[in-house]
Amino acid sequence: MICIFICHILIDFFNTPIFHASHVKYCHYFNNRGCGKHKPQLVDNGVETIANSCHDLEDLDLSKSFKLSDWSLYALAHGCQKLIKLNISGCSSFSDNALAYLSSYCRQLKVLNLCGCVKAAPDKALKAIRYNCSQLQPLNLGWYEEVGDAGVTSLEYGCHDLHALDLCGCVLIIECDSRSKQLAHLRSLDLYYCRNITDRAMYA
């Protein structure tokens, strides 16, 4: 109960538009998880407050923040350009344009979790990520029904350090060559429920 109480205070703290941010300006890590079914929800004002206050933020977990819109990604793009780890899994309202915009500013990203962001990562957004975030190592694209071969192929030519790629539930994937010379560091490839992938790709 103490944890839940603290989580509510912290989220309410950031969500309050008039809150003074000087006490968190040196924050490097923010995790919005851990309160179970009682978890409060960040809104765009809260993320904007974080972005305007925590310019040194490196690790941000906004997973399952269902109330967030593209405005949050635009705020992070301008305020948190030192981000190395970003988890926005389950945030189903983000668009591909907002994700592409974020990637053009947060070029130091090495860990990116987009699992279940059903609107945000079609092939267009993946091409932007490939161009802007070449240091990515693990990338989670699980349950993106719009991700296809073109987007995954584009990653091969930009994200050479990828060592883990999660494509579970990406039903448009037909060909995926885990032995691509461009992905020499790839050690883990999750193709669970990629039900349309060819036998040739599976045994490549």
Distance separating alpha carbons of residues 83 and 96, to the nearest angstrom: 19
CA gyration radius for the chain?
Answer: 18
For the stretch 39-83, pLDDT in tens is 678 899 999 999 999 999 999 999 999 999 999 999 999 999 999
- pLDDT beyond 90 at 139: yes
Segment 122-146 mean pLDDT: 90
As given in the structure block, the two tokens for residue 173 are 């994937």
Segment 2-18 mean pLDDT: 46
User: What's the pLDDT band for 180 if we cut at 50, 70, 90?
Assistant: low
Pairing type for strands 164-166 and 29-31 reads unpaired
Residue 187 is predicted with a pLDDT of 92
Chain-centre distance for alpha carbon 110:
10
CATH class of the 2-202 domain in this structure: alpha beta
CB-CB contact of 165 with 192 (8 Å): no
Count CB-CB contacts under 10 A for residue 19: 15
Residue ranges of the domains in the chain?
2-202
Segment 93-113 mean pLDDT: 95
The reported pTM is 0.86
Contacts (Cβ under 8 Å, ≥6 apart) of 37: none
Segment 160-176 mean pLDDT: 90
